[in-house]
Structure 1
Amino acid sequence: MMYKPFFKHYKHAILILASVIFSGCAAYASLNYNKLYGTPEPQQRMLDAGSFQAQHYVNNIKPIIDNRCVVCHACYDAPCQLKMSSAKGIDRGANKDKVYQGTRLLASNTTRMFIDAQTTAEWRDKGFSPVLNERLQSPEANTQAGVIARMLQLKQNHPLPNNEILDDSWDFSLDRDQQCPTIEEMSTYEEKYPKWGMPYGLPQISSIENDVLMQWVTVGAPMTAVAPPSSTELKEVAKWEAFLNLNSLKQQLTSRYIFEHVFVSHLYFDTEEVRKQEIPTFFKLVRSRTAPGKPINLVATRRPYDDPKVDRVYYRLVQVRETIVDKTHMPYALNNEKLERIKSLFIEPNYTITALPSYKPKVAANPLTAFTELPVEARYKFMLDNAQNTIMAYIKGPVCRGQLALNVINDRFWVFFVDPDMSNFTQVNSFYRSQAENLHLPAEKESNTATIANWISYSKQQGRFIRAKNAYMDERFKNGAHLTTQLIWDGDGTNTNATLTVFRHFDSASVVQGLIGEHPKTAWVIDYSLLERIHYLLVAGFDVYGNYGHQLITRMYMDLLRMEGESNFLSFLPTKNRHQELADWYQGANKNLTTYLEGDINTFDQPTGVTYTTSNPKHELLQMLKKRVENVTPTRYSLESTQLSNESKESLRKINKLRGEDASIFPELTFIMVEPEDASLDPQLFTLIRNSAHKNISSLFDEKSNRQYKRDTVTLVKGLLGSYPAAFWLIKESELPALVDQALKVKTNGDYERLLDKYGIRRTNSSFWSFSDALIKQYKHNYPIESGILDYNRIQNR
């Protein structure tokens, strides 16, 4: 390998140092690192991209870090805030404070990578401690005075116990205590937790990989940034920045609207020239104090609509400088067609912008107020064009995990949209303006503490809006006229965003195009105002660093929006069935919610225009809607599209027979790799999803008491669905009948463990990393633009 000549004179020193330094770490507990190696200060580690050392980092170091470290250390839920998905993140280091701390009374300071500080020295001022040596740059100091080096060697000296299931001394809960030792605390850590080297609770990396990383650390851990965009992409950047920063008020307001809706997305150029590249460069849309052509001077505010405190803000495209991880990756294509679409929606229509809206929270936090002069039809169609991205943003955008936010949705439901061409938007916009006082969102207030009182206040506000909306609909749909399935958007016959399936996996979730699985318990029908408010509640207005009150009232307000979407769906059913379904969906709801359900949410009594012929109208309705959108329903997750034999497909379909308490034994997400009998075929990937049933989902903290284990189901799909696998199976195609037979006989945890004994790749499996590499490689091969590094923080110890 190319790095050997460069590092060979250090290798002997490394081996000697490792044997001396790490054989008795406790002896160094009282080391005075300042006396031994000098006082710490950030080092210059960044290299010119064209240098030999930089290429060594890109080709040999970064792939190991991505596939062994980033799988746990990325996004806000990275242990110790150690984000290893970029060179700058590694150099920034760790912080003992948790980003996810739902009980804090005051909002915490933001620590967003590449936003809240630009240099390592600035991160030190914000309380981040180094994980690489920042003292004397010698081989001895770089290995002894660096946390990464010590953690790696600790794992090599104390590999995982030779047990299939680790004992209770291992804590894999997401809210576990995090030690986050500084280098001064490492000796105590090594003595107290000798088995807790890195990767934590996973097999040690290979000796070859360990040697490569140790050699890199020994010479000071030189790194380089991601490769710059191609010249073709830079031309596209210039074109889009020129458009987004035209001077007219119409353009400025349009660009502000676009920014506030795609700021969490990864933008890429889907042009013929860029498609020739193996993988496109991804960009983020940001606000800058500087115009195109000048270096970006980032406007770093807590929320995307906060006052930038400049006379003119410019919208710029900045390259994504981190490894793409699945849990935050939302690719959004930009091309000439998209540009023309935006112009046709926002720029070409004849209307006038009289003034740009204020950035005061009461205005800026509410899109129905801030953007009232933009055509409603344009706003709605813009979001519908990429509806999966719009909904996905509240799952992959401001958070990486969020049980407090996600227990507001059922485990699997279908989403439909009101057809924008069925509305008189002049009347609709007038109606929204009349309801301004009933459409306030929690983010308009910087802090919320009296949550129950706030919920009651917001529920009354939402109730007034629903009653007004129902009166508006009563007038429009007299005697059920036009209240038929024709009101549901069919994607204009081409757009696969017309229907979505949302899966909740306890404290994470997934949004996919199409109607996946059997008929769900609930469904949503979303119109413009609901889609807009969901985005501003859970994406634009949500603060992951916010206090307990903010996060709790956000979740509680989402209860109201969810019920609005459900109520829209129920409006298509016969009036007598609406109340029956709602009663089943909200069994045992608390008094406040029951009052709301029996009053405000249920006041629309116009008969449906849909004709039903059976005793199960919900089933009929879902079938009719499924038929309406069949031309734009993708088959990506269909078992029929797998390359396995028909007999194997039939075996796989049988797994969906898992029901009730038997199904509840299985984890949230199981990623399955099947090795085809035909050796010329690629491995086939599948996901087994457990759907947890609930009496209702209105309880914030006592989820277990609301569970209905006897109504649990599973959904098996082709491909990988979700970012957080809890279990892995590796199966030969010839083993599928036996696997399915054994899976359907699982009745106890012991039965499940025996299933894993035969087919599972546990976190302790010596083949874990080779399996992981094969899985991620195949995922990237199948979906090079959409895929990203998976997250292993939720792998079970079973």
Structure 2
Amino acid sequence: MVCHGCYDAPCQLKLEAQQGLERGASKDLVYDGARLMSADLTRLFDDARSAEEWRDKGFFPVVDPEQPDDGVLYRMLELKQAHPLPPRGPVDKSFDFSLYREQQCSTQEDFADYAEDNPLWGMPFGLPGLQPEEHQTMIRWLENGAQPPAQPALTAALRREVTAWEDFLNGNSNKQRLMSRYLYEHLFLASLFLEADGEPVWFRLVRSRTAPGEPLALISTRRPYDDPEVERVYYRLQRMPITPLSKSHLAYRFDAERRGWYQRNFLDPDYTVPELPGYQQEVAANPFKSFVAIPVSSRYRFLLEEAQFTIMNFIKGPVCRGQIALNVIEDRFWVMFLDPDSMDPELDGAFLARESDNLRLPVSETGTAVDLFAWRGYAKSHDRYQKAKVKYLSQQLNRSNRKIGLNSLWDGDGNNPNAALTIFRHFDTASVVKGFVGDTPKTAWVISYSLLERIHYLLVAGFDVYGAVAHQLETRLYMDFLRMEGELNFLMYLPPEQRQKLREYWYRDAPGFARDHVFADSELMREQATDLVFSSDDPKKEFLGTMRQRIHGATAERFDYHPAFTVENDKALDSLVAGVGAHNSFLPQVSIVSVIGGEQPQTLTLLRDSGYSNIALLFLEDERRLPEEDRLTVVKGFIGEHPNLFFEVHEKQLPLFAADIAAMQSEQDWKLLRERYGVARNAPWFWRLSDQFHQQLLDNDPFYNGLLDYNRYLGNEARATQ
């Protein structure tokens, strides 16, 4: 499972569920940067109902119930036992660990040729084989039919809870039905959990042709807002027999308390829904039209209540491999939110309704490159909206004689830790955690309601991982606008004379077309004062430091390594954080460090924040790299679902480890560091350390944590991905 999950599972062999094993593998790619037309959908649990239907879609079996020892999985495991990796030295050069390597999807019929050509390529691929007793357990399981462990029946209490949810989500009034449609379009990727004796039971929210109490008849469409082609949609909970994988795990609590909050937030307010919206594309793909009847405050409060989850939908959802999607953001930045009771125009329902046409998002109409021709229309609509927003906000500020101040930022109502987030980009993956983590970042965002909603419908509800390259490019280009909005909202809290200077720094060497923005060029941005008083020559740092203390949970104490180590080791780790420079560029994006020697191992994560002159362009990322601006964020515990490397360091060696990192100047220095502290792919203790990390993750939180992914673990590369 640490190699085979999500959309980028090799050969689409997804092993986090029994249905994935039974489906088998395919030679077709999900991530295909050269795809000129949309591909057929192959979503597990959605696009076929049986192994036979998957065979019709080109999937081939990897287990053989009639002759188990002839199955692909059985023979892959045996191949590794017959040809283990050498326990020392570099991994054989025949291995290609790059993400876009040519797939070798061997079938039962051609396995003999595969084994002869690639004797070292057994499973686990490019990692140590199983211990003999573990291998025999797997072999016996395959010989006995590869049956899944029995799934315990739902208790009477859980059955009552499922019934209560399905009754709640399928009320007959227009108000109830519109609420449920809104919830579905924001929760369709969620790993919903009901709790039973301290353990999670997993479900997902689906659309069904059948009402509660009847067998579920799943409605599968390309997007969650596509026409279900039935007179009445029913929202049901489908039990998910999965093992959570951290890279795609979007845990979301579903219980009576949550249901009561939905009632108070969506149904108790006094408003009417005269008629339900249809599913025409121009309405369904635009949440500012389809959900105009729901008060903006209710919609925004829903998104804020679990803001980390809301953001994680586009971080973890369709983007298992998303360099193009993610090179639109910095490697680390902090996120705040406008207060839901502020005077922001985006909380004025009438204003959003008037501007709903200009708030439309790119939607793939044809599934071909023709869609790109519509791009300029979306860009012009965005500009018109920004002009209207500037005019509205200027009028409001002038009329009330007010200035922008701290009270316009959400503080979590004093008890919600979702009010401050840190987003990390790891080249082509990303993570989001609660609190402000690390030193003052290069950039920060302030997110408003419409910005948060548009991000969701651009990158989650409306994003098609099977879409043509035109769809991917269109999405990436529009996300530039949304990033700039978040940045510009943040700049409004700084002194006017600092705003343009800081933005110029963020967009060094970027061409004008890549940084032009209506709001950035407005008189409001150039001249509107803030009521904040600054006392230092670094207002960005001062302001973010103030917010770190003001916003509930922003101090992110659970990631603070200082209480876990001695003063000497704290100083060593502090030096890593303070040491900005090209020496950090040798390290990979995500390194997990096991610090041994104490009563029990301590775990650290080293995260590389790569320096760029700007992130305003789609291509030529390497040309904009500034290794001399690279820095490290060091945290206690785990951040990042795709570790690139494990280190094992004795606590007495931590100062030397930090000094060795700071002293790196060449590929040879990096090689020596890995040999001294790194855990190579072929290290005999690799799986022991992997088990240790997973046990720590699950002990810390069995609801929100899952298994790590090793598809980006380093091989013999001279240095990490830039």
Shorter-chain TM-score: what band? over 0.9
CA contact (8 A) 1:287 1:316 kept: yes
Instruction: Identify the residue that residue 720 of structure 2 maps to in structure 1.
Output: none
- Using the TM superposition, name which of 450-459 and 155-164 deviates more: 450-459
Contact in 2 for aligned 1:417/1:489 (Cα 8 Å): yes
Aligned position for 2:405: 484
The structural deviation recorded for 1:743 is 2.3
| Cα drift, residue 463 of structure 1 | 1.4
Tell me what 2:270 maps to.
350
In the TM superposition, residue 630 of structure 1 has moved relative to its aligned partner by 5.0
1:186 pairs, out of 111, 116, 124, with 111
Q: Alpha-carbon deviations, 1:548-605, whole Å to 9, x = none?
A: 1111101111111010111111112222221111111111223422444797577634
2:200 aligns to what? 280
Shift of 1:188: 1.2
Q: Is the 8 A contact 2:346 2:449 kept in 1?
A: no
SS in 1 for 2:640: coil
Confirm or deny: 8 A CA contact 2:344 2:393 kept in the other structure. Answer: no
Write out per-residue CA displacement over residues 49-93 of structure 1, whole angstroms, 9 at most, x where no aligned residue.
Answer: xxxxxxxxxxxxxxxxxxxxx110011110000011111211111
Task: Render the CA deviation track for 1:435-454: whole Å, top value 9, x for unaligned.
Answer: 12211101263536257654
User: Which residue is 1:509 aligned to?
Assistant: 430
Q: Deviations over 1:407-428 (max 9, x none)?
A: 1111000000000012378971
List gaps (5 residues or longer) in structure 2.
717-722
The answer on whether the counterparts of 2:37 and 2:369 sit within 8 Å (CA) in structure 1 is no
Query: Following the alignment from structure 2 to structure 1, what is the Cα–Cα distance between the partners of residues 221 and 524?
Result: 41
**2:482 aligned residue:** 561
CA–CA separation in structure 2 for the residues paired with 1:317 and 1:220? 29
Aligned equivalent of 1:770, options 688, 691, 705: 688
Matches within 5 A, 1:81-92: 81-92=12-23
Residue 45 of structure 2 is matched in structure 1 by 114
Find the counterpart in structure 2 of residue 574 from structure 1: 495
Structure 1 pair 559–281 and aligned structure 2 pair: CA distance change class (3 A) = same
Q: How many Å separate the matches in 1 of 2:553 and 2:204?
A: 33
SS state at 2:679 partner: coil
The question of whether the paired residues in 1 share the 8 Å contact of 2:412 and 2:419 is answered with yes
Offset from partner CA, 1:239-265 (integer Å, 9 cap, x none): 111111111110000011111111111
In the superposition, the TM-score normalised over structure 2's length comes to 0.95
- Residue of structure 2 equivalent to 1:546: 467
Q: Which has the higher helix share?
A: 1
Q: Give the drift of 1:404.
A: 1.1
1:236 corresponds in structure 2 to: 161
Q: TM-score, normalised by structure 1?
A: 0.86
Q: How does 1:427-442 map to 2 (within 5 A)?
A: 428-442=348-362
Residue 795 of structure 1 aligns with which residue?
Answer: 713
Distance of 2:253 and 2:416 partners within structure 1: 14
**Aligned residues of 1:663 and 1:714 also touching (Cα < 8 A):** yes
One-letter amino acid of the counterpart of residue 685, structure 1: T
- Displacement, 1:185? 1.1
- Do the aligned residues in 1 keep the contact of 2:345 with 2:389 (CA within 8 Å)? no
Q: Determine if contact 1:483/1:608 at 8 Å carries over to the other structure.
A: yes
Distance 2:74 2:260 in 1: 52
Which letter maps to 2:583? D
Which deviates further from its counterpart, 344-353 or 227-236? 227-236
Letter in 2 for 1:690: R
| Secondary structure of residue in 1 paired with 2:422 | strand
Q: 1:437 aligns to what SS in structure 2?
A: coil
CA RMSD of aligned residues (A): 2.0
Change in CA separation of 1:446 and 1:502 when aligned onto 2, cut-off 3 Å: farther
- Choose 285-294 or 502-511, whichever is displaced more: 285-294
Take 1:523 and 1:508, find their aligned partners in 2: how far apart are those partners?
A: 19
Deviation at 1:217, TM superposition (A): 2.3
Cα 1:595/1:221, change in 2 over 3 Å: closer
Correspondence 1:149 to 2:80: no
Distance in 2 (CA, whole Å) between partners of 1:375 and 1:111 is: 37
**Equivalent position SS for 1:420:** coil
> 1:150-299 maps to which residues of 2 (within 5 A)?
150-224=75-149, 226-269=151-194, 274=196, 276-277=197-198, 279-299=199-219
Alpha-carbon distance between aligned partners in 1 of 2:149 and 2:4, rounded to the nearest angstrom: 19
Give distance in 2, aligned partners of 1:424 and 1:573: 17
**What amino acid sits opposite 1:586 in the alignment?**
Y
Q: Using the alignment, how far apart are the partners of 1:204 and 1:773 within structure 2?
A: 14
Task: Read off the aligned partner of 2:511 and give its amino acid letter.
Answer: N
Cα distance, 1:106–1:424 mapped onto 2, change above 3 Å:
closer
CA contact (8 A) 1:658 1:744 kept: yes
Specify the structure having the higher radius of gyration (Cα). 1
Match for residue 128 of structure 1 among 40, 59, 75: 59
Change (3 A) 1:683 1:162: closer
Contact 2:488 2:520 survives alignment (8 Å): no
What is the CA–CA distance in structure 1 between the aligned matches of 2:628 and 2:368, rounded to whole Å?
Answer: 38
Q: Which residue of 2 aligns with 1:752?
A: 670
Task: Determine if contact 1:86/1:225 at 8 Å carries over to the other structure.
Answer: no
**Distance in 2 of aligned mates of 1:601 and 1:455:** 23
Q: How does 1:683-722 map to 2 (within 5 A)?
A: 683-722=601-640
Report how many residues are paired: 714
Q: 1:447 and 2:378 equivalent?
A: no
Aligned: 1:469 with 2:395 = no
Kept in 2, the 8 Å contact 1:480–1:607? The answer is no
- Superposed CA deviations along residues 455-508 of structure 1, whole A, max 9, x for unmatched, are 443222211111111111111122972301111000000000001000000000
Which letter maps to 2:501? Q
Asked whether the 8 Å contact 1:490–1:632 carries over to 2, the reply is no
> What amino acid is the match of 1:189?
Y
Task: Report the CA distance between 1:348 and its aligned residue.
Answer: 0.7
Q: 1:398 aligns with which of 318, 335, 360?
A: 318
Alpha carbons 1:365, 1:444 under 8 Å: kept? no
Contact 1:377 1:425 in 2 (8 A): no
Q: Does the 8 A contact of 2:87 with 2:683 survive in 1? A: no
1:610 and 2:528 are equivalent in the alignment: no
State yes or no: 1:336 paired with 2:263: no
2:8 and 2:31 in contact (8 A); partners too = yes
Q: Is the alpha carbon distance of 1:443 and 1:603 closer, same or farther for their aligned partners in structure 2, counting shifts above 3 Å?
A: farther
Q: CA deviation at 1:676?
A: 4.6
Give the conservation status (yes or no) of the 8 Å contact 1:84–1:90.
yes
Give aligned-pair identity as a percent.
Answer: 44
CA drift of 1:398 comes to 2.1
Q: CA deviation at 1:142?
A: 2.0
Contact 2:8 2:320 survives alignment (8 Å): yes
Hey, what does 2:719 align to over in structure 1? none
Tell me the residue number matched to 2:703: 785
Partner of 2:557: 635
Is residue 412 of structure 1 aligned with residue 332 of structure 2?
Answer: yes
Native 8 Å contact 1:153 1:197 kept in 2? yes
> Residue 422 of structure 1 corresponds to which residue in structure 2?
342
Shift in alpha-carbon separation, 1:602–1:461, aligned structure 2, 3 A: farther
Matched residue type, 1:337 = E
1:315 partner SS: strand
C-alpha contact 1:410 1:504 (8 A) present in aligned 2: yes
Taking the aligned partners of 2:210 and 2:446, their CA distance within structure 1 comes to 41
Match of 1:497 in 2: 418
Distance 1:747 1:328 in 2: 36
Q: How far does residue 733 in structure 1 lie from its aligned partner after superposition?
A: 2.0
Q: 1:536 offset after TM fit, Å?
A: 0.5
Task: Flag the 1:184–1:219 CA change in 2: closer, same or farther, 3 A.
Answer: same
Once the two structures are overlaid, the 10-residue window that deviates more, 101-110 or 735-744, is 735-744
Q: Distance in 1 between matches of 2:11 and 2:368?
A: 27
